[in-house]
């Protein structure tokens, strides 16, 4: 009985895995950047581009709108101040009218003779 012992063969997956690991090691030894570094660089460049586009798309119009609203606020504040000035002048005018009316009433009451007396005095003369 001359049988040759059967050598157990490695499964194909194990051989392929070892080949992949060996290829990865050799690529790491060959250069500074491997596949993972290049992929990370690409993803980071994509994110940077995304940030720049979102800045242009969202922030610039928001700043423009804010400036417009600030100008509107300034205009409304000046309009409010002018309205308050007009109201204050109106109150001053009202107090002036009240003073004039009181002065006129006082003059008619104390400094002019009674209308009936004046006429009768003229008739008497």
Token pair listed for 72: 């509107």
pLDDT at 31 over 70: no
- Segment holding 98, helix H or strand E: helix 60-106
Q: What is the pLDDT of residues 13-30, one digit of tens each?
A: 888 888 887 877 765 556
pLDDT at 115 over 70: no
pTM over 0.85: no
More confident residue, 13 or 114: 13
Residues 34 and 27: beta-carbon distance below 8 Å: yes
The confidence band for 123, taking pLDDT boundaries of 50, 70 and 90, is confident
Residues 58 and 50: beta-carbon distance below 8 Å: no
């Amino acid at each position: 009985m001359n049988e040759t012992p059967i050598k157990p063969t490695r499964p194909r997956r194990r051989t392929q895995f070892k080949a992949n690991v060996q290829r990865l090691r050799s690529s790491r030894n060959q250069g500074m950047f491997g596949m993972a570094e290049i992929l990370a660089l690409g993803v980071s460049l994509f994110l940077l581009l995304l940030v720049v586009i979102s800045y242009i798309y969202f922030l610039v119009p928001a700043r423009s709108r804010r400036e417009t609203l600030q100008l509107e606020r300034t205009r409304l504040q000046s309009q409010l101040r002018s309205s308050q000035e007009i109201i204050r002048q109106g109150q001053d005018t009202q107090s002036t009218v009240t003073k004039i009316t009181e002065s006129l009433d006082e003059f008619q009451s104390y400094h002019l003779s009674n209308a009936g007396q004046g006429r009768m005095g003229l008739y008497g003369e």
